[in-house]
Structure 1
């Protein structure tokens, strides 16, 4: 692991914030690296005030989707949900606008064609019921299942409402009761106020951009509708108490790299969901060039799976979920490993090599 430590130290030396990289096998740690600054610094040479350490929490953005997918997998394990069934079986209002045959799997594999909410509720992005109601009435942009495009924010509204209809409970409650507390994982979806002091503010590095593969201005307008003000507003909503408490199933998960690496290690070993259901959720269900973003993508059910860009390192089989700004959490099932790179410094995919370099070094041993 010497090379991994060297790569981590190199990137830490160029960081104005903090970062962690952790690796677990069979629920046990192989590597725990933490360092840098809890708060943003003007330059890497500035003195660190409060350190980023093993107790630091930060918003995971779309890294949350791997947690949400696992909650759904647990419902499948318990016989409460069938991914091949129409969504309207559980959520009758969803049958509107020709969606009566849309399957649960199409909500989870990003092929349903509801990439933004129309109309956008006046109550804002944190009003989950309002977004769910609007999406239930909405007509998809394409025939569900015919195209794949990342549903960055609406994924959470859709899956949250589905889970609520099946169980009467929110995803965050189920994550706490079925995953986090039983396994001692410091992961939160709906953060308690007494934990706020541990949450590092996230910030964008100079030049940060989203959808860096996209050049088409018409579809750039779709991206703006997809993300709304979530990532590009002057003040990031992710740094507010309201966002931390919201439990948004698409992007408001809060945790650290150590907990996420152990989470994926437990998923690999079959301790979170049965191997049969895990394999169902982590095989490839959709693959292609994102119909909005022009990026090669590949999805299981709620999880990302290894894509043409080798987002998950130099291995053939991998799954997990990335988060806006460079965080990456996942598993190499053939090696029995769970890993997580977590940071408060957001960089664009076109310039960020942190997780890529760390996974390359990990593969080298």
Structure 2
């Protein structure tokens, strides 16, 4: 007999299969989770599992949690709003908006390079030990360091995930254009009009709703990364080795910091977004259609955002020798499905977060989803989280049935 998790919430007629699929996906998950789905601007799924919550707080659809790299999609939305308004040119050099960034061989680095993880700045420092948590929250110092840093590879010639620096790089461009931080811009131009429970920097008044995450496996250390990159042929003193070790150490530091009130209150735009599944789904629905009279991006802007910008590139040397069909794909600030992984359908775009969170949309079907969980799996994966695969196909089928009906 198939095991099912306890699921609460509602689904609209025709979407009942999503409830059972979500229950299957959560059956072996020790934590709590939320799943929300919008279809053509209307919420059709609003489900959650109570699971285990470390603090003992009740977990329901209004609970909020750390979104990790799902936050990158929030930052990308801000950049594309500026593009749509004619205030930001994706092909322009970053230095047009942020003059100090031209230092150390980066004069030709474009805004597109930042959004597509092609900038060659995957960590905040060249020191393998990385930057510690207090310094990670010093935005001005981190921005100055990135502006002065020499890229690890020639910008635009290769790509590798900028796990934490992405938010400061794109966020600083947003700040230079608007005069306000990316978190404040998101609050005013995205969360406000759509009435979203999404923040880059959690206000104190919302702290009572916060539910912490917990790891189901040990967090990878810098030493783990060092062993892995050595196995891939990188010498210990290679700059890319140091950058990857630093990025791993910084990820550990910042993840621990999100467990504190102070860490949640500070803007850390690459990974520190906080919110719930309802709001993620609602935001992505407004990227591809109208939601209660609000549409964030026009169809041409959304199509530009999901255009592949790394398919013709490989990781930097010598990691390019291990490139394969399961590699990550990026558009402009958004992740794209790998071959054979349609998720919501061919042409889906969005962003996942380490541990299993997901926000995604599919313009052709009008689908948008938000998934938030408290159990954070650090298990390496070359594909979608196994909890998603239980319900993504059912969501697609329900949308197709809705159209036929």
Q: Same fold (TM over 0.5)?
A: yes
On the 8 A contact 2:66/2:273 being kept in 1, the answer is yes
Q: Which structure 2 segments of 5+ residues have no match?
A: 1-14, 235-239, 399-405
240-249 or 132-141: bigger deviation: 240-249
Q: Is the CA contact 2:288–2:298 (under 8 Å) kept in the aligned structure 1?
A: no
Shift of 1:209: 5.1
Using the alignment, how far apart are the partners of 2:344 and 2:188 within structure 1?
Answer: 35
Q: Which of 243, 264, 276 is 2:300 aligned to?
A: 276
Distance in 1 (CA, whole Å) between partners of 2:376 and 2:391 is: 17
Say whether residues 1:338 and 2:368 are aligned partners.
yes
Q: 2:334 aligns with which of 300, 303, 325?
A: 303
CA shift, 1:216, in A, is 3.1
Deviation of the 1:241 alpha carbon: 1.4
Q: Which moved more, 1:281-290 or 1:326-335?
A: 281-290
- Structure 1's 223 and 356: CA in aligned 2 closer, same or farther, altered over 3 A? farther
Q: Which moved more, 1:235-244 or 1:53-62?
A: 235-244
Map 1:251-266 → 2, pairs under 5 A: 251-266=271-286
**Pairwise CA RMSD:** 2.5
Q: Distance in 2 between matches of 1:35 and 1:314?
A: 22
Contact 1:37/1:51 (CA < 8 Å) preserved in 2? Answer: no
What is the DSSP-based 3-state SS (H/G/I as helix, E as strand, rest coil) of the residue aligned with 1:286? coil
Where 2:73 maps in the other structure, the secondary structure is: helix
Tell me the residue number matched to 1:202.
213
- In 2, are the aligned partners of 1:35 and 1:51 still within 8 Å (CA)? no
Residue 289 (structure 1) shift: 5.1
Inter-partner Cα distance in structure 2 for 1:141 and 1:25? 42
Q: Distance in 1 between matches of 2:261 and 2:57?
A: 20
What SS does the corresponding residue of 2:350 show, helix, strand or coil?
Answer: strand
Gapped regions of structure 1 (runs ≥ 5) = 42-48
Preserved contact between residue 260 and residue 329 of structure 1 (Cα < 8 Å): yes
Matched, 1:249 2:256: no
- TM-score, length-scaled by structure 2: 0.81
Give the CA deviation at 1:17: 1.5
Residue correspondences, number: 355
Shift of residue 364, structure 1, vs aligned partner: 3.5
Which of 65, 71, 81 aligns to 1:64? It is 71
What is the correspondence of 1:177-216 to structure 2 with a 5 Å cutoff? 177-206=188-217, 215-216=228-229
The alpha carbon displacement at 1:334 in A equals 1.5
